[in-house]
Amino acid sequence: MNRKKEKTEIDLLLEAIFKKYGYDFRDYARASIERRIRQFLPKSGCRTILEMADRLLLDEKFFTMLVRDFSITVTEMFRDPFVYSNLRKKVIPHLETHPFIKIWHAGCATGEEAYSLAIVLKEAGLYERSTIFVTDFNDEALQRAKQGIYSIDCVQNATRNYMAGVGTRSFSEYYKANNHSVAIDRSLRENMTFANYNLVADGVFGEMNLILCRNVLIYFNRELQNRVFKLFSDSLARGGFLCLGTKETPTFSTSSEKFECIDDKAKIYRRKYS
């Protein structure tokens, strides 16, 4: 396809999604969103991107399929073990000073990292006074997160990560195996609230003591990153913490003055008091 024509058709597709369904992908990193649209086209049954745009205006199920492809659900338990080790050393002691702890895990995908955090809180004796809000815009991924059922391979990798980072117990305490899958222990879900939330369009999410949003912002352009960092700043209590993916930083955002760096390698920041 002619490059200029393809760009125009992609613009029309993204505009149609926004106007019809309120999901705004127009400020996602362009190369990433274009790649996902091209990958989806052969599976869509449509001949052109413009035909996809016409179809999604009439077919909500088709739109749901497309959005599911746009959602990044690559994750794993205790990904980057040093991050969880540093959360335990540098954030947990501050959370201990609060009678009630509010945490938002934004862009949770299928939930593995939310359960990782729950384990850290449980081992620190903080889980019972914590509420974890677990959100994503992908309802299918969110449902998987709520179920907490994963493959045996996933848990084997999680065990290695856990022992490399914060492991103090046998990881098998946190799940029950059943044939080819495992179910995360129910006690880790008791203080979790799962909800559909769109970082691009939705508003402030209350006064959180800790926000985790790891490996999501790398898919946004600078304008959208600025919006989300302001959202995080406004959603954090003063002195609250923000944990990002290892390639993400608020340093060059319009909200940079609101944050101080606690750990550059683990990408842990703190909302300033002033």
Percent of the chain past pLDDT 90, that is, above it, reads: 65
The pLDDT value recorded for residue 134 is: 97
Give the lowest-confidence range in 65-69, 138-142, 163-167, 242-246.
65-69
Residue 119 lies in a domain: yes
Give the lowest-confidence range in 62-71, 105-114, 122-131, 252-261.
62-71
Residue 130 has which token pair? 């914590």
Both 40 and 114 in one domain: the answer is no
Residue 13 lies in a domain: yes
Mean pLDDT of all residues in 169-191: 92
pLDDT tens readout for residues 128-139:
999 999 999 888
Residue 75 lies in a domain: no
34: amino acid identity, one letter: E
CATH code of the domain covering residue 131: 3.40.50.150
The pLDDT value recorded for residue 74 is: 65
Residue 213 lies in a domain: yes
Both 87 and 212 in one domain: the answer is yes
Both 35 and 116 in one domain: the answer is no
Percent of the chain past pLDDT 70, that is, above it, reads: 98
Residue 252 lies in a domain: yes
Both 218 and 92 in one domain: the answer is yes
Residue 104 lies in a domain: yes
Asked if 75 and 113 touch (Cβ cutoff 8 Å), the reply is yes
Between the alpha carbon of residue 85 and those of residues 28, 131, 208, 232, 265, the distances in Å are 31, 21, 21, 23, 12
pLDDT tens readout for residues 12-26:
999 998 888 877 888
Both 114 and 178 in one domain: the answer is yes
Mean pLDDT of all residues in 203-210: 92
83: amino acid identity, one letter: V
Both 242 and 121 in one domain: the answer is yes
User: Cα–Cα distance between 15 and 52 in angstroms, integer?
Assistant: 12
Confidence of residue 88 (pLDDT cuts 50, 70, 90): very high
User: Cα–Cα distance between 125 and 69 in angstroms, integer?
Assistant: 38
Mean pLDDT of all residues in 94-103: 97
Confidence of residue 156 (pLDDT cuts 50, 70, 90): confident
Strands (E), 128-169: 130-136, 149-151
Confidence of residue 72 (pLDDT cuts 50, 70, 90): low
User: Cα–Cα distance between 251 and 142 in angstroms, integer?
Assistant: 30
Both 95 and 117 in one domain: the answer is yes
Both 179 and 200 in one domain: the answer is yes
Residue 36 lies in a domain: yes
Mean pLDDT of all residues in 73-88: 90
Asked if 211 and 243 touch (Cβ cutoff 8 Å), the reply is yes
Both 39 and 59 in one domain: the answer is yes
Asked if 240 and 208 touch (Cβ cutoff 8 Å), the reply is yes
DSSP state of 198: -
Q: What is the mean pLDDT of the chain?
A: 91
Both 158 and 223 in one domain: the answer is yes
The pLDDT value recorded for residue 73 is: 65
Question: Which residue would you say has higher pLDDT here, 188 or 67?
Answer: 188
The residue whose two tokens read 């029309």 is 12
Q: Number of folded domains in the chain?
A: 2
Exposed (0-12), middle (13-18) or buried (19+): which is 113, by Cβ within 10 Å?
A: buried
Residue 76 lies in a domain: no
Both 11 and 134 in one domain: the answer is no
247: amino acid identity, one letter: K
The pLDDT value recorded for residue 218 is: 87
CB atoms within 10 A of CB 270: 20
Confidence of residue 104 (pLDDT cuts 50, 70, 90): very high
Mean pLDDT of all residues in 227-235: 96
pLDDT of 191 higher than 70: yes
Mean pLDDT of all residues in 183-199: 94
- How many residues in the chain? 274
Both 32 and 107 in one domain: the answer is no
Q: What domain range includes position 58? A: 3-70
Between the alpha carbon of residue 182 and those of residues 14, 105, 113, 190, 202, the distances in Å are 38, 22, 16, 18, 33
Return the half-sphere exposure (C-beta side, CA atoms, 13 A cut-off) of residue 12.
16
**b/e map of 70-83 (b: 16 or more CB within 10 Å)?**
bbbbebbbbbbbeb
Residue ending a domain, among 70, 94, 117, is 70
Residue ending a domain, among 70, 99, 116, is 70
